[in-house]
């Protein structure tokens, strides 16, 4: 069966104003809205479109994390994924651990394609897809803004600093999504009801044989430096005068 595996990460919603805890141990997440990482929504949307074009038969979503991540898996099922896999893991799941767990799922499910987000908007690590591709020893096409599937290969247009780069990769491969790949669909209420009946299997890291190991200690979180309050000018001439006085013109 032609399958696509999509990574789903639970993150603080992008609209939330992030505040660092006074003791520096993290950011405030109590009572804060949590969502599917926006790049993962895009990954799922792309997988669903590929399936709708008849190029894949099943879309599986997977997450590695604590029990509350199941909420985001349900959202993904409501969007249209066929089934979900939750790898239960407590504490900080580093990209290497997430990738090792995803690799185990790949070995079981034998997907044609794995689509992840290019970065999670909480840690902004931007590593998991590449780490996974390395562990799997398969191609990676990061920052995708266009994916074209052909027999046994994919043509991926990537958003790189210079512009747009196109790669051809043999399948299976890992692709990570950029913002302009697509616009994710909205979830409709009946789909939320239907999603409750879709299969969601729970596994554990240890059952998969993956060690939960944290290699980087999170020492301290600090708020960013605030910029000094600026001035207001009333017209173009004053603006240029202000720039001249700062030596910028």
Ligand X SMILES: Cc1cc2nc3c(=O)[nH]c(=O)nc-3n(C[C@H](O)[C@H](O)[C@H](O)COP(=O)(O)OP(=O)(O)OC[C@H]3O[C@@H](n4cnc5c(N)ncnc54)[C@H](O)[C@@H]3O)c2cc1C
Q: Residue 22 Cβ, how far from ligand X at the closest point, in Å? A: 16
- Strand 153-160 and strand 83-88: the pairing is unpaired
- With CB under 5 to 8 Å by kind, the binding choice for 162 among ligand X, another protein, none is another protein
98 binds, among another protein, ligand X, none (CB under 5 to 8 A by kind): ligand X
Chain centroid, CA 23 distance in Å: 28
Residue 3 Cβ vs another protein, minimum distance, rounded to whole Å = 19
Q: Which two tokens stand for residue 153?
A: 């290969």
Residues 207-226 that bind ligand X (CB under 6 A): 218
Q: Which residues pair with 59 in a beta bridge?
A: 4
Q: Which stretch binds another protein (CB under 8 A): 51-59, 105-113, 167-175, 193-201?
A: 167-175
Question: Which position among 4, 7, 35, 147 is part of the footprint of ligand X (CB under 6 A)?
Answer: 7
Under a CB-based contact definition with an 8 Å cutoff, are residues 173 and 141 in contact?
A: yes
C-beta of residue 181 within 8 angstroms of C-beta of residue 146: yes
Burial of 230-243, coded b for 16+ CB within 10 Å and e otherwise, reads eeeeeeeeeeeeee
Q: What residues numbered 39-68 form the site for another protein, per CB under 8 A?
A: none
Binding of residue 116 to ligand X (CB under 6 A)? yes
Nearest to 88 by CA among 115, 108, 70, 61: 70
Residue 136 structure tokens: 């799997």
User: What is the rounded CA–CA span in Å between residue 178 and residue 246?
Assistant: 38
Site string for another protein, 194-233 (x = CB under 8 A): ---------------------xxxxxxxxxx--xx-xxxx
* Window 28 to 57, contacts with ligand X (CB under 6 A): 37-40, 43
65 binds ligand X (CB under 6 A): yes
Task: Give 66 or 134: the residue with its C-beta nearer to ligand X.
Answer: 66
By beta-carbon proximity to another protein, the closer residue of 190 and 228 is 228
Nearer to another protein, 22 or 54 (CB): 22
Stretch 82-101 residues interacting with another protein (CB under 8 A): 94-96, 99
Q: How many whole angstroms separate alpha carbon 195 and alpha carbon 145?
A: 28
In angstroms, the CA 61 to CA 40 distance is 10
- Contact call for residues 109 and 5 (beta carbons, < 8 A): yes
60 binds, among another protein, ligand X, none (CB under 5 to 8 A by kind): none
**Cβ burial 128-144 (10 Å sphere, 16+ → b, else e):** bbbbbbeebebbbbbbb
Selected from 1, 124, 186, 197, the binder of another protein by CB under 8 A is 124
Site for ligand X, rule CB under 6 A: 7-9, 14, 26, 37-40, 43, 62-66, 92-95, 98, 116-117, 119-121, 123, 125-129, 218
């Amino acid at each position: 069966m032609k399958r696509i595996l999509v990574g789903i990460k639970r993150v603080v919603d992008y609209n939330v104003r992030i505040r660092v805890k006074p003791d520096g141990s993290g950011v405030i997440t109590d009572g804060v809205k949590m969502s599917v990482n926006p790049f993962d929504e895009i990954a799922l949307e792309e997988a669903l479109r590929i399936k709708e074009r008849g190029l894949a038969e099943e879309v599986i979503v997977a997450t590695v994390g604590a029990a509350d991540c199941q909420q985001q898996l349900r959202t993904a099922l409501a969007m249209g994924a066929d089934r979900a896999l939750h790898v239960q893991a407590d504490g900080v799941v580093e990209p290497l651990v997430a990738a090792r767990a995803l690799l185990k799922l790949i070995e079981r499910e034998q997907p044609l394609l794995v689509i992840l987000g290019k970065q999670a908007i909480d840690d902004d690590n931007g590593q998991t897809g590449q780490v996974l591709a390395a562990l799997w020893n398969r191609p990676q096409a990061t920052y995708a803004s266009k994916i074209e599937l052909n027999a046994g290969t994919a043509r991926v247009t990537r958003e790189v600093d210079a512009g747009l780069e196109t790669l051809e990769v043999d399948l299976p491969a890992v692709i990570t999504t950029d913002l302009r790949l697509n616009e994710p669909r909205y979830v409709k209420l009946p789909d939320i009801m239907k999603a409750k009946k879709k299969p969601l299997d729970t596994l554990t890291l240890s059952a998969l044989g993956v060690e939960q190991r944290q290699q980087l200690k999170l020492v301290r979180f600090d708020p960013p430096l605030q910029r000094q309050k600026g001035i207001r000018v009333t017209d173009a001439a004053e603006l240029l005068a202000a720039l001249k006085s700062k030596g910028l013109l």
